[in-house]
Amino acid sequence: MVEISAVQLNQRLDNFLLKLLKNVPRTRIYRIIRKGEVRVNKKRCKPDYKLQIGDQVRIPPLRVEAAETANSALPKKLLELLERSIIYESDHILILDKPAGLAVHSGSGVAFGVIDLVRKLRPDMAIELVHRLDRDTSGCLLLAKHRQALLAMQRCLQDNSLKKSYTALVKGYWPRQITRISHALKKAHLSNGERRVYVDTGGKSALSLVKVVQSGENFSIIQIEIVTGRTHQIRVHCQAEGHEIAGDNKYGDAEFNLAMRQRKIKRLMLHASRLELPHSEFTAEMVINAALPEEFEQFLGR
């Protein structure tokens, strides 16, 4: 039995259990909720139930040996890489320069993600992701070390006082007059389980602000500030403007990607280059920059 305190107030039941039972597979956690093995105040509850102070949560006995073994086997070299990738850390938050190709979450064939690795690096902290990055996107990734900081940073995202900027290498000459992209976006799940996003007037509003860093006939380098944080927003907005991001195997241009591969570009050329943090209860006002990866260097000044 676990009694809920102010720290867990209004947290969803499923998120509370996922955080508490870190070594238990997600599917197992949702199964014990669905079957009523988890009880709140002796009653069944749905995964989205918001916990209240004083709630008594019953958690059934669970076998976690296999999961613990898997967790202990996290690659040492990858743990060392993540430790070196920390570009800012305080008592409340941690910011990584996430390597391209590393997923933030495990699942769908991914044995472990950034969150699993950082929890291993900081076992005494209640580490949570404040936001996400696509697997193939590198750069600034913000994590919270406790729930209060998580909620505070998420509020800053919602009121746009926490700003996220990206650098991208895109196809063709980007017209300098295109500084604002506001195509609404709609998410779809294909029969094979793949997630796709489309421009659709019936979708959710999305806003990207663009500044040209360098433009040329064959490619341009742009900076994008995302005002909204929709799935694949930058990639789909660039595609909609006819300036697909280099190395994008989902929304990109095949001919442009081939030309980029000939220049040894084997990744999505999208990098979360900057976080602007506001003054808050848990953060001072500051700007955090993640240096451009070396793949971008050959295109700068040309």
List, by residue number, the catalytic residues.
134
Listed in sequence order, the residues at least 6 apart from 248 whose beta carbon sits closer than 8 Å to its beta carbon are 235, 239, 257, 268, 270
Tell me the C-alpha distance between 155 and 224, whole Å: 21
Q: Looking at this protein, which amino acid is placed at residue 88?
A: Y
CB 274 within 8 A of CB 287: yes
Report the run of H or E that residue 87 belongs to, with start and end: strand 86-89
Q: Provide the 10 A C-beta neighbour count for residue 3.
A: 10
Sign of CA dihedral 263, 137, 236, 286: negative
Length of the chain: 302
